[in-house]
Structure 1
Amino acid sequence: MDILFIAAVFVTAGLVKGVTGMGLPTVAIALLSLRMPPLQAAALLIVPSSVTNVWQLASGPSVYPLWQRFRWVLLSMCAGVAIAFVLGSATWNGAVLGGALAAYGLLGLTGWRMRVAPRCERWAGPLVGVVTGLLGGVTGVFVMPAAPYLQALNLEREDLLQAMGMAFTVGTLSLAVMLALRSEWHVTAAGNSALALIPTIAGMLLGQKLRGRMAPAMFRRCFFLALLALGVHQLLR
C-alpha cells in the first residue's frame, strides 16, 4: 500500500510539473508528509527533484549570467540549510511545512506579487536565501520565499524558469549533503529516490500532453487551492 501511495504521489507531482512547469517538490512533500515526516519525504524526492530541476535549468542559455546575479542568494540558501540542521527542528517541521504551503497557496490564489527594486537586491537577495534555506532545511520545500522573490524581479519568462531551477537545484543538493552527514541519505535511500524518478517522469509526460487540453488558469487555481488545504491540514495536525 505504501509503495502504491508513493508511486501515486510522484505521478501526481510529475503531472503538475508537466502542466505548470513548477510544483514538483511542493506537491510531493505536501502529500508524502501525510504518511511520513517532511524530511523523510524530502530524502525520497532528492533524485526526482534534482533531475527535473537540472533539466529546467539547462533549458536556456543564461546559466552563467544568472549564477553571477544570484550567487549570493544561492550561497545564503546553502548556509540557511546548514543552520536549520545545526539548530535541529524535528519537533516543529510539520507546522512550518503547513505554514509554508498555506502561505504559498494564498499567494497563488490572490495573484499578489511584490516588487523588488534593483538597488535592493544586494541585501534582499541574501536575506531571502537564508530564510529559504532555513525553511527548506526544515521542510524540504524551497519555494518560500525564493519563488515570490524571483517573480518580483520582473525577469523574462525563460530567465525566471532557469533562476527557479537553479535555486531549487542548489537547495535540493545542499539538503542531500546535510542528510548524508546525518546518515539519513544512504544507499537504500538513494535507491528508493532513484526509483521514484520513474513515476515522476510518467506524470510529467502525461502533464505535458494535458497542457494543451485544459485552461492553465483553472488548473493553477485548483493547484493553489490544494496547497492551501494541505497546509491547513498540516497546521491542524
Structure 2
Amino acid sequence: MTTLFGFYQTLGPALSVLVVFTFLLAGMVKGVIGLGLPTIAMGLLGLAMPPAQAAALLIVPSTLTNLWQLTAGGHLPPLLRRLWPMLAMIFVGTLVGSAGLGINSGAWAVHALGAALLAYSLYGLCGRGMCMPSTWEHVLGPLCGFCTGVVTAVTGVFVIPAVPYLQSLGLSRDELVQALGLSFTVSTLALALGLAGQDALSTEALGASLLVLAPALLGMLAGQWLRQRISAVLFKRCFFVGLALLGAHLLLNG
C-alpha cells in the first residue's frame, strides 16, 4: 500500500486531484471518439510535472484500455499480418529514441510534447482523408512506425504519424478502431520499456498508474454513454481545438 500511495503523497493533494481529473477527462474523450487518452493525459499533466513522470502514470490505463479496444472487432489476425512491419518498427524506434534522446532528457522535451500535440490537433482540424496506394505500404509502414516510435520516446504521445498513416489505409471503421488499439498497445509497452531503461518507471510509479485505471475506465463508460447523446463531429472538433491551444502553450512556454 505504501508503494501504491507514496507517489501521490509526494505529489501532494492539488496535483493528485489534477491527476484524477485528467484521467477522468481522458477516459471520457476515448469513450466518445475512440482515442485521446494518452494525448490528453500527457498534455494536461505536462503543465504540472515532467513528461517522464506523466508518461509513467499513463502506462497501466493506456495498456489496458487499448487491449480492450484491440480485442473487439474480429479483425486482429489479418491486421497483424498487414501491420506487423509498422508495429515492429514502432517498438524499435521507441527503444532507439529512448536510448538516444529520451523523454527524461531536459526541458526541451516539454516543447517537443507541445509540438506533437499541436501537429496532431492541426491534422485533426484541417487534414483531409488521404488514400495511400497499397504498393507503398511495405516502405511507408516501417518508416511511419519508426518515426512514431521516436516521437513516442521523446514526448509520450504516439499518434503522430501513426494515426494519419492508419487512416490512409482504407480500413473499415471497425478495422481502424482495432488497428489504432493495436498500434497504441505496442507503443505503450515499448514506452514502458524505454522509461524503465531511463530509471523513470519505478514500482511506486507503476502502483500510482494502477490507481488511475479506475477514473480512466469510469471516464470511458461516461464517454460511451455521452456518445449516444451528442454530435461526435462537434465533440471531436472541440477536442482538437482544445488540444491545439494546449499544445501551443506547451510549445511556447514549456
Q: What's 1:170 paired with?
A: 186
**Aligned ranges 1:49-198 → 2 under 5 Å:** 49-89=62-102, 90-91=105-106, 92-198=108-214
| 8 Å CA contact retained: 2:101, 2:153 | no
The alpha-carbon deviation at position 49 of structure 1 amounts to: 0.2
Q: What's the TM-score, normalizing by structure 1?
A: 0.97
Match of 1:38 among 39, 51, 55: 51
Q: What's the TM-score, normalizing by structure 2?
A: 0.91
- For 2:210 and 2:55, the matched residues in 1 are separated by 13
Runs of 4+ more than 4 Å apart: none
Q: What's 1:8 paired with?
A: 21
Q: Superposition RMSD on alpha carbons, in Å?
A: 1.0
Deviating more after overlay: 16-25 vs 182-191: 182-191
Q: What's 2:33 paired with?
A: 20
| 8 Å CA contact retained: 1:13, 1:25 | yes
The letter of the residue matching 1:56 is: Q
Match of 1:229 among 245, 248, 251: 245
* SS of the residue 1:143 aligns to: coil
| 8 Å CA contact retained: 1:29, 1:141 | yes
* SS of the residue 1:135 aligns to: helix
* SS of the residue 2:131 aligns to: coil
- For 2:20 and 2:200, the matched residues in 1 are separated by 21
- For 1:49 and 1:231, the matched residues in 2 are separated by 20
- For 2:109 and 2:137, the matched residues in 1 are separated by 29
| 8 Å CA contact retained: 1:128, 1:149 | yes
The letter of the residue matching 1:186 is: S
The letter of the residue matching 2:52 is: L
The alpha-carbon deviation at position 208 of structure 1 amounts to: 1.2
The letter of the residue matching 1:30 is: G
* SS of the residue 1:235 aligns to: helix
Q: What's 2:4 paired with?
A: none
Deviating more after overlay: 34-43 vs 175-184: 175-184
